Amino acid sequence: MQSESHEQLHLRRSRISDRWFMAGVYGATGLFVAIVAGLFVELYAGSSSSIRAFGFNFLTSSHWNPVTNQFGALPMIYGTVVSSLIAIVLAGFVGVFGAAYLVEFAPRAVARPLAFLIELLAAVPSVIFGLWGLFILAPVLRANVEPFLQAKFGFLPIFQGFIFGSSLFTAGIVLAIMIVPTVSAITRDVIAAVAREHREASMALGATRWETMARVILPGATTGIFGACVLALGRALGETIATTMVIGNKPAIAASLFQPAYTLASVIANEFTEATSDLYVSALIELGLLLFVVSLAVNGIARVLTWTVLRPAKAR
Amino acid sequence: MKRVNVLGAALSFAALVVAPALAATQLTGAGSSFVNPFFSKAFYEYSAAHTDVTVNYQPIGSGGGIQQFTQRTVDFGASDVPMNADEIKRLPASAVQVPIALGGVAVTYNLPSFIKGGLKLTRETLADIYLGKIAKWNDPRLTKINPGAELPDAPIIVVHRSDGSGTTYIFTDFLSHVSGEWKSKVGTGKSVEWPAPSAVGGKGNDGVAGAVRQTSGSIGYVELAYVHENKMTQAQLQNAAGRFGFCTGGGVAAAAATKLNLTPTDFSIVDTKGETAWPIAGYTWVFMYREYQKPEEKSRAKMVRDVLEWTATSGQRIAGTLDYVPLPESVQEIAKKSFSEIKV
């Protein structure tokens, strides 16, 4: 009798704690959704007068003229997407292979401090990356790297034209360095999480470590790695101050990566404090809305890619 | 016993820290970042002499300053350009705009070979460079005014401020004054659509300076104080009187002295006729409301007015030590007169 009531008590208690737990989970999730929805509504409301004035033209026009109150965001959308793509290609490559080395090949004495150093990069404030990019990286790129690329691969339009220090290319590299820790840290975890049995089975079949890495571990970790890249891409898309300092802030679309460009976040950072006319402020807020939409779209495309490209590959 | 001691020490320390803060009234202002170094020093010195007042100035940009002033969240606003009719219309009450600081904008460049006496530019060539019409350094119009200088067969990289700034306003105001084409095609503003194909934007004075210093064949504009601090190469610019010269404190003061009827609606001092005037210069302005109703508002407004009036007059000697240009006597008089219109 006594033991039964004890059990009932226990059950009742766990039901109460269950309820609290569920409330917490729903509450936190609801808050997430509310914040995102609120952000969208607020941005949409703030940009309404710009949307009314320019409509769809805002997305297709290349003119950004605060003097005549003519605003178009196409070059900024282009600059945001391309600089982030450069960053994710470079950071994805370095981050994934670096993480694979650290987990599978590096001796412990090397792996620990190296991993720590890479993750330390994540703690550096972006303004430091910006200053470093402007005063140290950009001159090196301008004097050495970009002329070299132009000499070897100058037939490609992306490496043609006059070489400025501040460019889409410079911004892409600075962003890549900034997001490498994200890619590398998560990739290390997902690689380490691949079941031990899989590795051992592969090794037992006579596969080399390299073959095990390429055929077993990386495919097993693909979804996680993709998640890491999407997260990193999000940071690159929204990065403001470092990009602003090195991208050249020119609202124009050029084929060459060596030309200055502009990003959505940079325009806001540059012009919001001094914008006084209503339409101007509204246009800047609409850039924020676009950044929101572009981030969503890029995330969506990344998801679709994981489903369509990677699933069949795994099934083969 | 030990605890009591620690507590006692903490309390007396707190008393030391808090006491002056409690006694002093904290006034707040917001706006122009250009004027911030001057304001910081001036307000610090003022508080040292008047221990009952401290001023908290937030250099959030002129636009933000106007906005906060309009919403009455600060005691005064500061802007590198006076409020325009539109902005004045939005104010909750009539305001006074007073010139408080004077600055010049210098032209800096980076060429591979040293030019003795500095690169010379006329007003028209500078405008055409920024329009992209003079695109190479060895353009005949540049070689003609720079005989003997080694000007390379290289593109001119035009560097400008990417952030909205009073410096850009003054610079584009100058270009609009000297070039009809600039005026109709681009205009005057804190941010404009730069027409030159080789234009690059740098954030802040340091961004422009960094870009110019690193890019051979570039030209840019920065505040006078910044050129001095960083020992940058200046170009000589011809003024309206036909004289070539560098941007100096004296040149900016001479430009300011030519305009005796300065008002918030007629404030431009670019391209003035003075013999030794430097043609690219402008004022920073502060705003206060004209009337204050409640007694506590009045006493607060009086303190604000006193600080700002001191800054616009006696405080100007500090401006000189920081590479700003002290307001000429005549402008100090205009400032005093404007402050006297505030009813407190």
pLDDT tens profile B189-242: 999 999 999 999 998 888 898 889 888 899 999 988 888 878 889 999 999 999
Q: Is residue B15's pLDDT more than 80?
A: no
- Say if A162 is an interface residue toward chain B (CB within 8 Å): yes
Instruction: Report the mean per-residue pLDDT for chain A.
Output: 89
Place of tokens 């490498």: A180
Looking at residue A122, its pLDDT comes to: 87
HSE value, Cβ hemisphere, 13 Å, CA-based, for B226: 20
Q: Is residue A14's pLDDT more than 80?
A: no
Q: Is residue B37's pLDDT more than 90?
A: no
pLDDT band per the 50, 70, 90 thresholds, residue A12: confident
CA distances from B140 to B133, B135, B147 (A): 12, 11, 10
Looking at residue B5, its pLDDT comes to: 54
Q: What percent of chain A has pLDDT over 90?
A: 55
Q: Is residue A309's pLDDT more than 80?
A: no
B235's tokens: 């170009």
Looking at residue B3, its pLDDT comes to: 47
- Say if B153 is an interface residue toward chain A (CB within 8 Å): no
Looking at residue A300, its pLDDT comes to: 85
Q: Is residue B19's pLDDT more than 80?
A: no
Number of H helices, E strands in chain B: 14, 11
For the four alpha carbons of B207, B209, B214 and B220, in that order, the dihedral sign comes to positive
Looking at residue B191, its pLDDT comes to: 92
Better pLDDT: B259 or A76: A76
pLDDT band per the 50, 70, 90 thresholds, residue A2: low
> Do the Cβ atoms of B210 and A134 come within 8 Å?
yes
Q: What percent of chain B has pLDDT over 70?
A: 93
Q: What is the mean pLDDT of residues B60-71?
A: 87
Q: Is residue B20's pLDDT more than 50?
A: no
C-alpha B43/C-alpha B54 separation (Å) is 7
Measure A20 CA to nearest chain B CA, in Å.
Answer: 42
Q: Is residue A316's pLDDT more than 70?
A: no
Looking at residue B86, its pLDDT comes to: 86
> Which A positions 46-85 lie with beta carbon below 8 A of chain B?
63-68
Q: What is the mean pLDDT of residues A220-232?
A: 87
Measure B61 CA to nearest chain A CA, in Å.
Answer: 5
> Do the Cβ atoms of A250 and B200 come within 8 Å?
yes
Other C-beta atoms closer than 10 Å to the C-beta of B247 total 26
pLDDT band per the 50, 70, 90 thresholds, residue B12: low
C-alpha A171/C-alpha A148 separation (Å) is 18
pLDDT band per the 50, 70, 90 thresholds, residue A105: confident
C-alpha B160/C-alpha B211 separation (Å) is 9
Better pLDDT: A78 or A214: A78
Q: Quote the radius of gyration of chain B (alpha carbons, Å).
A: 23
Q: Is B313 within 8 Å of B332 (Cβ atoms)?
A: yes
Looking at residue A311, its pLDDT comes to: 58
Q: What is the mean pLDDT of residues B280-293?
A: 93
C-alpha A63/C-alpha A53 separation (Å) is 14
Write the ipTM.
0.81
Looking at residue A222, its pLDDT comes to: 85
Q: At what angle are helices B295-312 and B36-49 packed, to 10 degrees?
A: 110
Q: Is B287 within 8 Å of B300 (Cβ atoms)?
A: no
For the four alpha carbons of A166, A169, A173 and A179, in that order, the dihedral sign comes to positive
Beta pairing class for B76-79 and B281-289: antiparallel
pLDDT band per the 50, 70, 90 thresholds, residue B184: very high
Measure B164 CA to nearest chain A CA, in Å.
Answer: 5
C-alpha B12/C-alpha A310 separation (Å) is 68
Per DSSP, what are the bridge partners of residue B199? Answer: B158
Better pLDDT: A59 or B230: A59
A119's tokens: 């993750």
Q: Is residue B328's pLDDT more than 70?
A: yes
Looking at residue B2, its pLDDT comes to: 44
A299's tokens: 């995330």
For the four alpha carbons of A234, A239, A242 and A244, in that order, the dihedral sign comes to positive
Looking at residue A315, its pLDDT comes to: 45
Q: Which of A273, A279, A281 to mutate to test the interface with B (most CBs of B within 10 A)?
A: A273
C-alpha A121/C-alpha A138 separation (Å) is 19
Of B192, B211, B214, Cβ closest to residue A66: B192
Beta pairing class for B218-223 and B236-238: unpaired
C-alpha B164/C-alpha A38 separation (Å) is 29
Q: Which long-range contacts (CB under 8 A, 24 or more apart) does A120-127 make?
A: A120/A181, A121/A177, A121/A178, A121/A180, A121/A181, A122/A181, A122/A182, A122/A185, A126/A178, A126/A239, A126/A240, A126/A241, A126/A242, A127/A241, A127/A242, A127/A245
CB-CB neighbors (< 8 A) of A275 in chain B: 63, 164
Measure A164 CA to nearest chain B CA, in Å.
Answer: 7
Q: What is the mean pLDDT of residues B138-151?
A: 93
Strand runs labelled E in B128-271: 157-161, 199-202, 218-223, 236-238, 244-245
C-alpha B220/C-alpha B157 separation (Å) is 9
Where along chain A do its domains lie? Answer: 6-46, 52-314
For the four alpha carbons of B9, B11, B12 and B14, in that order, the dihedral sign comes to positive
Q: What is the mean pLDDT of residues B93-98?
A: 94
* Per-residue pLDDT reduced to its tens digit, A154-179: 888 889 888 888 899 999 999 999 99
B161's tokens: 């401020």
> Do the Cβ atoms of A134 and B207 come within 8 Å?
yes
Instruction: Report the mean per-residue pLDDT for chain B.
Output: 89
The CATH class that applies to domain A52-314 reads: mainly alpha
Looking at residue A132, its pLDDT comes to: 94
CB-CB neighbors (< 8 A) of B199 in chain A: 250, 260
* Per-residue pLDDT reduced to its tens digit, A240-289: 999 999 999 999 999 999 999 999 999 999 998 888 788 999 999 999 99
Per DSSP, what are the bridge partners of residue B31? Answer: B78
Q: Is residue A195's pLDDT more than 90?
A: no
Measure A142 CA to nearest chain B CA, in Å.
Answer: 9
User: What is the pTM (predicted TM-score) of this model?
Assistant: 0.84
